[in-house]
Amino acid sequence: MRLLILGGTTEASALARRIAGRHDLDPILSLAGRTRSPTPPPIPFRIGGFGGIPGLKTYLIEGRIAAVVDATHPFAAQMSQNAAIACRDLAIPLAILTRPAWRQQGGDCWFGVTDMKAAVLALGETPRRVFLTVGTLQLAAFAAAPHHHYLVRTIEHPHGMAALPSHRLILARGPFGVEDEIALMQEERIEVLVTKNSGGAATEAKIAAARTLGVEVVMVERPATEDTRSFYTVDAVLAWIGDHRPAP
């Protein structure tokens, strides 16, 4: 069974590890190529965009792909939409492997916004000490609010940091612990945390730390996705793959 996994996440890596060596599956993992030196996956892989919906359709047809698992990040909306349209048009089964969104709990002080531009506006006019954990791609949006001080945490060195006049950059990869997050926010006198609602345990500690310290959270909510089957565990996706195995 030719299986295309759209990856770039811990969920996709976990699925790849589980199916590596299975003789009934012929998988290929697709990475966008954003990470400079990704760890080579344990299954065959390709790197780079497909060329929009037409390119993806050509790839699916020429590769005789029998099913697609979209295990991209919840904020990789373009790739997910392209996959939904291409699979619908070609009648190829598509499942989403994702993580549940974080939900507000008692004691949280969240300000929900729909995009990064709105997150910048939500910080307001009064200068504040802001913890930015939004990845690298949309940091430039905060150049529009240079009166704040930013503590920026990313995995890889981002471009465009010069646009933020007052900042400190930390390079680190999760998982993070709640006590460490509390200590960091206290040391840096953080007043507001900006994050995308990525969900998942690896980076949830900052949410708990903000709750403990009474720090406000500007939460960029997830983009809407097509109405496709979503699963939250690798086991559930494996069962789905089994159900969609082509007849011999």
State the residues that interact with ligand NAP by CB under 6 A: 6-9, 30-32, 34, 49-52, 55-56, 72-73, 75-79, 82, 135, 196
Min CB(82)–ligand NAP separation in Å: 5
Min CB(187)–ligand NAP separation in Å: 26
Max Cα-Cα span within the chain: 66
Q: Compare residues 8 and 191 and give the one whose CB is closer to ligand NAP.
A: 8
- Exposed, middle or buried: residue 69 (CB in 10 Å: 0-12, 13-18, 19+)? buried
Q: Compare residues 82 and 94 and give the one whose CB is closer to ligand NAP.
A: 82
Q: Compare residues 149 and 196 and give the one whose CB is closer to ligand NAP.
A: 196
Min CB(196)–ligand NAP separation in Å: 6
Q: Compare residues 8 and 27 and give the one whose CB is closer to ligand NAP.
A: 8
Min CB(207)–ligand NAP separation in Å: 16
Q: Compare residues 44 and 52 and give the one whose CB is closer to ligand NAP.
A: 52
Min CB(173)–ligand NAP separation in Å: 11
